Structure 1
Amino acid sequence: MDMATTTTCPIQVQIPDWLQSCLSNDGHSAANLSEGLSESDRDLIARSFTFAHNLHEGQCRASGEPYINHPIAVASLLRDLGGTGTTIAAGFLHDIVEDTEVTPEELEERFGPEVRQLVEGVTKLSKFNFSSKTERQAENFRRMFVAMAKDVRVVVVKLADRLHNMRTLEHLPDEKRRRIALETREIFAPLANRLGIGRFKWELEDLSFKYLEPEAYRHIQELVAERRADREQRLSTAAQILRERLEEAGIQCLDVSGRPKHLYSIYQKMQRQDKAFHEIYDVAALRVLVETKPECYRALAVVHDAYRPIPGRFKDYIGLPKPNHYQSLHTAVIGHSGKPLEVQIRTLQMHHVAEYGIAAHWKYKEGGGSHCISPEDEKFSWLRQLLEWQNDLKDAQEYLDSIKDNLFEDEVYVFTPQGDVVALTRGATPIDFAYRIHTEVGNHCAGAKVNDRMVTLDTELQNGDIVEIITQKNSHPSLDWLNYAVTASARNRIRQWYKRSHREENIARGRSMLEKEVGKNGFEALLKSEPMKEAAQACNYQTTEDLLAALGYGEVTLVQVVNRLRDAAKSRQKEEEQQEATSLEEEVAVREMNAAPPAPPASTGKSPITGIEGMVYRLAGCCNPVPGEPIIGVVTQGNRGISIHRQGCHNLEQVDGDRLIPVNWNQNQVEVAKAPTYPINIQIEVMDRVGVLKDILSRLSDNNVNVRKAEVKTYPCKPAAIDLCIDIRNRQQLDRIFNQIRQMSDVIHLRRLGNSQED
């Protein structure tokens, strides 16, 4: 979807013939041009188009054409894939909820629950506020995959929407073009490939290539164009020879045709294999279509008899289909001109699956089967993994990285001892294999055999390996496994086991953190109180212990828990005004009142601290206060000025009350754009893996936080400790980065150094 403007569009609405036939009362014409659509389908299509046309009336795209041309193009792509009236109607209406005042309930009333479900699944979360573009993007994908699990057509509509937007991307600013093209190449093209929709995948990749690497795109385009005539002549001659040979062998050949190689795939092979353009075998390719699977193998023998095969260039995707169910025989031969030629051999049904993927179920279904594909199907194992990570991976960037890792097809195929095929990410190890079989197999893995030979658990698996996992009841994951587990699912399960196995330790840590915040008085009663249970449920945990454990290993922040407790206490106080208040809000208020006298009013001066104008002062190194935190001044002994502490600092317990001075942060200084920064020391306990420090530093950089010092301490088979000194402007910035770092699945514990109080 691109933003529409309301004005007079110089270009007319473009209504294709198939749509015109649905709008027409000529039943004979409609039957011819809308083949495969029932009368009720055509009626739904006509009504949805009219509704969308009226709502988008007067809106123009960035190109100047009427906005309705975009929904028409999306619906046309879905119609070409064989979508029913419901799917095509969703194509017309996919932007309605986002761009107009129409509600999902009104959509359902007009067009039915299926159309509503598809449109809601495609709709972005543009009406909600997120702290970053990364978080917004992650939430969009979370929502889309959940909707896809209910009905896979959601993502097909989304792909059609993205494909037409990519076709018209030249009308957008350069920065926006690159951002959309990068997202398309990293997410949507691999997603189309996972669904097997080859015709979408290739075009999305080529269009992304065009905008992300324009010089390389033009170079490959020129190389392909220069030799087109010679290539077409060679393909035509080879096709004629193969037709004759196949006929002589008694094989009915449905088609032999040249297959254009897509520019991005040529570029990828040149880069990956470090080869020149003329060294790529399948720039010139023939596709042979036959009737049956046995004839595919007979046709292969004919091809190898007619031309000399190139060793090591044969792939049998019929016997071992790709995860998206693509099937074909691929072989590379030396053609009659002495140049390499790729030949693909498949049946007509295999060809339909290769072109339409999951949509082949609609376009070439028999007996009118259901259009809703269940994600329980084996082909959707990757989708189930993405759904499992919805709750496990709290950090937006980690979730996006997991999506990208899972969608790319670069895979290795290995076998279980029983002969079952298991597809893993290339570079996967026995640990990845064990967790792919079952979580408990991974958790109790003690060793592995590959091709009947004992191997180490970091051994890289190769195509065709037979892998056997040796388990023992007392075995358990090691933190070292994180360094050589390749798949995101394996790494996530290792982290989850570690957190669960240290549950008691995490509960104790969470109790300690909360107790230091609310005080010891009445703490045990607080843990058993109804407000505490309500706070746990508000944070999406079933019990108080679950909440404390999550607090202990950083899945939820102390600020979040305190806020939920405060909200629960307020609610209960309104309901039971006569009941003695035991809420966290009152305990914190009493403690703060006893800690210091009232703070002075804010000043309009230039000093960061008010209440000590004209005096020498320094910030106490024991607690390193920052703007936004309650502070108090202490007259130092020896006439060395005023020391500024955080209220609640443990060193204040030793100070006489007559040495305390009420002070406050100067709000005018705190809110200026170039406010001063203050050094803060923090310690992060993490799973010891390669790149974890880089991931933490990138989050600090995203928040414009300078790192003064970094020190990493590692221990064998134990978590690592990262000590950082960072520059912070105020408490709000500190809370924000603490929250982002705690959401990283590798982070076990995060605390602020300098005093006994943890944040």
Structure 2
Amino acid sequence: MLDFERLRSKLSYLKEDDLKLVDKAYQFAFTAHERQFRKSGEPYITHPLSVADILVDLNTDTASICAALLHDVIEDTVYTKASIVSSFGTEIANLVDGVSKITQVEYMTEEQEQAENFRKMLLAMSQDIRVIIIKLADRLHNMRTISGLRRSKQLAKSQETIDIYVPIAKRLGMHEFAVELEKLGFKTTYPFRYKVLSKALHDIQSRRTYLLEEIKRKFYESMQSNQITIHDIDSREKNLYSIYCKMKKKRMSFSEIMDVYAIRICVETRAECYLTLGIIHQLYRPMPNRFKDYIALPKTNHYQSLHTVLLGPESIPIEVQIRTKEMNNLAETGIAAHWLYKLGGEHKNINEIARQGWLKQLLEIQKSTGNSLEFLENIKINLFPNEIFVFTPKGKILELPASATALDFAYAVHTEVGHTCVAAKVNRQLVPLSSQLVSGQTVEIISSESSAPLPGWLDIVVTPKAKSSIRHYFKLKHQNESRSLGQSLLKRAFNTINISEDDISEQSIQLLLEKLSVASLSELYEDIGLGNRSASIVSQQYLILHDNPKLMSSDTPSQPLIISGTEGMAVDFATCCYPVPGDPIMGILSESCSLVIHRENCKQLFKFRQSKQSSVTVCWSESITGEFPVEIWLKVSNIAGSLAQIAVVVGNHQSNIKDLNVTKTDGTHLLVSMILMVYSRSHLSQIAQSIKRLKCVFNMSRYRHVIIGQPGAFGGGL
């Protein structure tokens, strides 16, 4: 078990003051985690110590080591970011906070939580790339000790590691991290397959030792005779997970996949890389179309090397990588190598290097995605695609994923170039925007200021930047159209109540926005345009506030919205309870943006409140006019003329039967439901009293259950 003294013994490259800060960070972490234990039963402090140890092997700086020791303090103890700021300063506190998960927030799903945490980590690493390097070291140690978790958690962590953290490590050029994370993820997910493939790989490598040594000897002697400085010639160990994936994808056997040798050659200078290439091509014949020059055209993660495939002894292919020692260090440890080595004769800022390529793309995507889940899906696509290299007319090289189209190229140049493009030229030939590009092509975009994206473009582009930019354009366009529509609807609603734009004061609008809990007038327009609010209701609420601004006072109760019966489509009357003037009522804002009036004792109101639909306090106008439908239920004798008697009573009271349904309950009674048109609750009461006097009527109510459950006297109320 790693202890702090062993870790400290490896910090000889730090200054004395830096060592004191590391000592302080360890003591702080030890105290914070003193009574905590890992799932394996070990003291929790062993985990931050191990994470720090992984970073020390990369010769990382003092702040990174301190942050590694403290990385779980905010998340798992009572200490806050402020505590770390006061003890260690802002730089270390920001690193620790960047690695910490989002806490004290409820999420709908684990996927949403994962996406939110990843977005938070990305924003932190955009400011300081050391955040993700610490996180990768954290994940590496967690994967090394994953056996302490329950099986379901092991599988989830392994999948997340392979889907997200391995590609990130590759993107940052941290090959050793990526390979070990892949191996551990594979071993955890498929332990039996890992064991079988591991044994098979060991056996085949044992049998190949002699032949590989013979090839390496020939390389060494020829290079030495040409006075090339040789740092290393070594056979590369095959990655078990990549072998497994290749077997699945190509449906090939293990022996077919492994029927190839892999050798890496390290020399002193870039010029010697190309000299070595010529020498080995003289020893063994190169295979056509299998040469790649990543020195002249580095990968996004700054990886540089010459790749070639030779036809070796017994016609077995030999994969050869040729690079300088510096390139090899960068290939193994990636961006972390910038702490150790000079590039171009001077030390470069590690964050500036990171921001030049992939991370810059991620930040652009992050700005234009609607939610964290969409962002995470875009990142998974963007993490490690196969790449092509194409040229602008001025000779600038752009890197795009394989199967990228001319439209993807336009968005890679600039978002506005993408939005306004109308055609493309590839090698001076006009091509459709949907044309797929291949490496080496020169692409020119033809644009027009009057052009705009089309919805079908989302089916053409493959890059996350292009997809997110197009979606963002349509989202903004939809918002602008909704605001314009909402403004027109509200203006029309104000005109109907004889209020012009000149009559509307800024103070009254501000009071209205506060009343509606809306941040701005633009947001209000958008709500109306999208159908989330009724323009008629908003105009009436403005009228109330305009007439009496004191209504906004917390001491003054909200004035109800007056229902006059002439609101048209803006107000509907519920058919579940059929409110009529005189009934106590409540308004519910429906999804179709109309205001639906219910009786206060309507059973449906409880359901609407549970679904958090907005309610509006309303009341009837004293001068309300018009006829309103109301449903009544009756239990009557099954004799000739009973329904005719009821119809006569209704007609005598200047009412009309809009609808009528009859059900036979038994041999002697009928259950009758009818919808009457009445002027008010008192009008309905007069009709009810007259119907009740009829001998053929046993019961009458506005509630069906009253009629069924209580035969006899008139009950249930109106």
Same fold, judged at TM 0.5 (above): yes
1:42 aligns with 2:42: no
Aligned to 2:129: 152
Aligned to 2:356: 378
Deviation track 1:679-709 (CA, whole Å, cap 9, x = no partner) reads xxxxxxxxxxxxxxxxxxxxxxxxxxxxxxx
Q: Equivalent of 2:164, from 164, 177, 187? A: 187
Partner amino acid for 2:277?
L
1:635 aligns with 2:645: no
Flag the 1:464–1:385 CA change in 2: closer, same or farther, 3 A. Answer: same
Flag the 1:208–1:578 CA change in 2: closer, same or farther, 3 A. Answer: same
Secondary structure at the aligned position of 1:579 is classed as helix
Alignment of 1:387-402 (within 5 A): 387-402=363-378
Aligned to 1:341: 318
Flag the 1:610–1:319 CA change in 2: closer, same or farther, 3 A. Answer: same
Alignment of 1:107-122 (within 5 A): 107-122=84-99
Q: CA deviation at 1:536?
A: 11
Secondary structure at the aligned position of 1:345 is classed as strand
The answer to which structure, 1 or 2, has the higher relative contact order (CA under 8 A, 6+ apart) is 1
Secondary structure at the aligned position of 1:59 is classed as coil
Flag the 1:135–1:142 CA change in 2: closer, same or farther, 3 A. Answer: same
Secondary structure at the aligned position of 2:424 is classed as strand
1:177 aligns with 2:198: no
Deviation track 1:104-154 (CA, whole Å, cap 9, x = no partner) reads 122122112211010011110122222322322222112111111111111
Flag the 1:515–1:296 CA change in 2: closer, same or farther, 3 A. Answer: same
In structure 2, C-alpha distance between the alignment counterparts of 1:210 and 1:134, rounded to whole Å: 23
Q: Which moves more between the two structures, 340-349 or 210-219?
A: 210-219
Q: Assess if the C-alpha contact under 8 Å between 1:510 and 1:551 holds in 2.
A: yes
Secondary structure at the aligned position of 2:352 is classed as coil
TM-score by length of 2: 0.74
1:100 aligns with 2:77: yes
Q: CA deviation at 1:78?
A: 1.0
1:409 aligns with 2:389: no
1:65 aligns with 2:42: yes
Q: Assess if the C-alpha contact under 8 Å between 1:526 and 1:582 holds in 2.
A: no
Aligned to 1:430: 406
Flag the 1:499–1:49 CA change in 2: closer, same or farther, 3 A. Answer: closer
What is the aligned-residue RMSD (CA, Å)? 4.3
Q: CA deviation at 1:222?
A: 3.2
Q: CA deviation at 1:237?
A: 2.5
Secondary structure at the aligned position of 2:466 is classed as helix
In structure 1, C-alpha distance between the alignment counterparts of 2:49 and 2:237, rounded to whole Å: 28
Q: Assess if the C-alpha contact under 8 Å between 1:234 and 1:337 holds in 2.
A: no
Alignment of 1:465-476 (within 5 A): 465-476=441-452
Aligned to 1:212: 189
1:481 aligns with 2:457: yes
Aligned to 1:579: 550
Q: Which moves more between the two structures, 405-414 or 154-163?
A: 405-414
In structure 2, C-alpha distance between the alignment counterparts of 1:663 and 1:284, rounded to whole Å: 86
Partner amino acid for 2:446?
I
Could you list the runs of 5+ residues in structure 1 that have no partner in the other structure?
A: 1-12, 22-32, 567-571, 601-608, 614-618, 643-651, 665-759
Q: Which moves more between the two structures, 493-502 or 582-591?
A: 582-591
Q: Assess if the C-alpha contact under 8 Å between 1:447 and 1:455 holds in 2.
A: yes
Partner amino acid for 2:352?
S
Flag the 1:582–1:60 CA change in 2: closer, same or farther, 3 A. Answer: closer
Q: CA deviation at 1:488?
A: 2.0
Partner amino acid for 1:97?
I
Alignment of 1:90-489 (within 5 A): 90-280=67-257, 284-365=261-342, 369=347, 373-374=351-352, 377-379=355-357, 382-489=358-465
In structure 1, C-alpha distance between the alignment counterparts of 2:199 and 2:505, rounded to whole Å: 73
In structure 2, C-alpha distance between the alignment counterparts of 1:324 and 1:59, rounded to whole Å: 38
Q: Assess if the C-alpha contact under 8 Å between 1:314 and 1:330 holds in 2.
A: yes
Q: Assess if the C-alpha contact under 8 Å between 2:420 and 2:449 holds in 1.
A: yes
Aligned to 1:15: 3
- Give the structure with higher Rg (CA): 2
Flag the 1:119–1:633 CA change in 2: closer, same or farther, 3 A. Answer: farther
In structure 1, C-alpha distance between the alignment counterparts of 2:193 and 2:465, rounded to whole Å: 35
Q: Assess if the C-alpha contact under 8 Å between 1:134 and 1:396 holds in 2.
A: no
In structure 2, C-alpha distance between the alignment counterparts of 1:272 and 1:538, rounded to whole Å: 54
Q: CA deviation at 1:535?
A: 9.3
Flag the 1:299–1:481 CA change in 2: closer, same or farther, 3 A. Answer: same
Flag the 1:20–1:319 CA change in 2: closer, same or farther, 3 A. Answer: closer
Q: Equivalent of 1:529, from 503, 509, 515? A: 509
Deviation track 1:459-494 (CA, whole Å, cap 9, x = no partner) reads 111122221111123222221111111112212222
Q: CA deviation at 1:507?
A: 1.2
Q: CA deviation at 1:370?
A: 6.8
In structure 2, C-alpha distance between the alignment counterparts of 1:343 and 1:277, rounded to whole Å: 21
Alignment of 1:545-694 (within 5 A): 545=522, 548-549=525-526, 552=529, 579-581=550-552, 586=558, 596=579, 597-598=583-584, 628=611, 634-635=630-631, 637-640=658-661, 656-658=679-681
Q: Which moves more between the two structures, 445-454 or 292-301?
A: 445-454
Q: Which moves more between the two structures, 498-507 or 220-229?
A: 498-507
Aligned to 1:497: 473
Aligned to 1:78: 55
In structure 2, C-alpha distance between the alignment counterparts of 1:263 and 1:546, rounded to whole Å: 55
In structure 2, C-alpha distance between the alignment counterparts of 1:228 and 1:209, rounded to whole Å: 20
Q: Equivalent of 2:32, from 39, 55, 58? A: 55
Q: Which moves more between the two structures, 342-351 or 496-505?
A: 496-505
Alignment of 1:711-722 (within 5 A): none
Flag the 1:302–1:15 CA change in 2: closer, same or farther, 3 A. Answer: same
Aligned to 2:65: 88
Flag the 1:657–1:523 CA change in 2: closer, same or farther, 3 A. Answer: farther
Partner amino acid for 1:307?
Y
Q: CA deviation at 1:258?
A: 1.7
Deviation track 1:40-75 (CA, whole Å, cap 9, x = no partner) reads 221111111122122212322111222111101100
Aligned to 1:669: none
In structure 2, C-alpha distance between the alignment counterparts of 1:183 and 1:408, rounded to whole Å: 15
The percent identity for this pair of structures is 37
TM-score by length of 1: 0.70
Q: Assess if the C-alpha contact under 8 Å between 1:266 and 1:283 holds in 2.
A: no
In structure 2, C-alpha distance between the alignment counterparts of 1:519 and 1:588, rounded to whole Å: 22
In structure 1, C-alpha distance between the alignment counterparts of 2:273 and 2:17, rounded to whole Å: 40
Partner amino acid for 1:170?
S
In structure 2, C-alpha distance between the alignment counterparts of 1:654 and 1:321, rounded to whole Å: 82
Q: Which moves more between the two structures, 172-181 or 234-243?
A: 234-243
Partner amino acid for 1:155?
I
Q: Assess if the C-alpha contact under 8 Å between 1:513 and 1:558 holds in 2.
A: no
Deviation track 1:432-471 (CA, whole Å, cap 9, x = no partner) reads 1101101221111111112222211111111222211111
Deviation track 1:342-378 (CA, whole Å, cap 9, x = no partner) reads 1111001111111121111112248995765137842
Q: CA deviation at 1:323?
A: 0.6
In structure 2, C-alpha distance between the alignment counterparts of 1:240 and 1:16, rounded to whole Å: 44
In structure 2, C-alpha distance between the alignment counterparts of 1:56 and 1:276, rounded to whole Å: 49
Q: Assess if the C-alpha contact under 8 Å between 1:635 and 1:641 holds in 2.
A: no
Partner amino acid for 2:207?
D
